[in-house]
Amino acid sequence: MEDPVLEYQLLEAVHKNDGSLTQRHISEKVGRSVASVNFALRLLAVKGYIKISGANPRNLKYHLTPRGVVQKSFLAYNFLKRQSALYDEARNGILHSLKELRTEGVESVALYGWTPFTESAMLFLISEGIRVTALYVRNHRSFDSLNRIPVKLIDSFEDDCEVLVLTEPLPADYDEKVTTRKLICFPASESDEA
C-alpha cells in the first residue's frame, strides 16, 4: 500500500474494534470512501495483516492478525521517528535564531504563544542571560507564572521588550499594536522583520 497513514488508520480501526466494524463504519472513522476502504482492506488481507470473515458481503468482520500487529507497530515507530527528526530540526532552527539575539546585544525578550517550542525557547534565552519580560498567551491556562516569568494575556501586551518571539501567530488585530523593534516568528513567516 502506498499510503502508510491510511494503512495505519485501517489497522488501528480493525485492532480497536476487532470484528465489530463494517466497511462503512471504517470509512467514516478514517474519512475515506467505502470503495477505497474496501480496496485497502482486501490488500491488507492479501498481505496477511488482517483476516476477513463472514459470508454476507454487507456484514464482513475484520480481525487483526499477529503480522498486522507487527506492521501497525512498525508504521507507528516510523511515524514517530520522522516526527522526532522534524521536531529536532525545528527546535534547533529556533535555538539558532535565538542565539543570534545575544550577538546582536539584545537584553530583553517577550514570548507569545504556548507551543512545544515555547519552553525550550524560554530556557535557552534565560541560559543566554537574556531577560524574558513576559509570556503572552491568548487564554490564561492553568499557570499564573512560569519560573518567575509573568504569564499575561495578549490583551495586556506591554511593549517592554526589544524583541517579541512568536511561537504562534498573533491575533490579526494585534499587528498594529506591536511596535517592538524586532519580531521573530516560528515557524518563520514573510512578515518577519530583520
Mean pLDDT of 109-135: 86
Among 130-134, 140-144, 185-189, top mean pLDDT goes to: 130-134
**Residue 187, preceding bond cis, omega within 30 degrees?**
yes
Residue type, 38: N
Domain 4-64 sits in CATH at 1.10.10.10
Q: Is the pTM of this model over 0.75?
A: no
pLDDT digits (tens, 9 = 90+) for 12-49: 999 988 778 888 888 998 899 999 999 999 999 999 99
146 has pLDDT over 70: no
Helix (H), strand (E), coil (C) string for 75-140 = HHHHHHHHHHHHHHHHHHHHHHHHHHHHHCCCCEEEEECCCCCHHHHHHHHHHCCCEEEEEEECCC
Distance CA 132, CA 149 (A): 7
> What local confidence, expressed as pLDDT, does residue 119 receive?
84
pLDDT at 70: 95
Q: What is the CATH number of domain 85-185?
A: 3.40.50.720
Which residue ranges make up each domain of the chain? 4-64, 85-185
Residue 78 pLDDT: 92
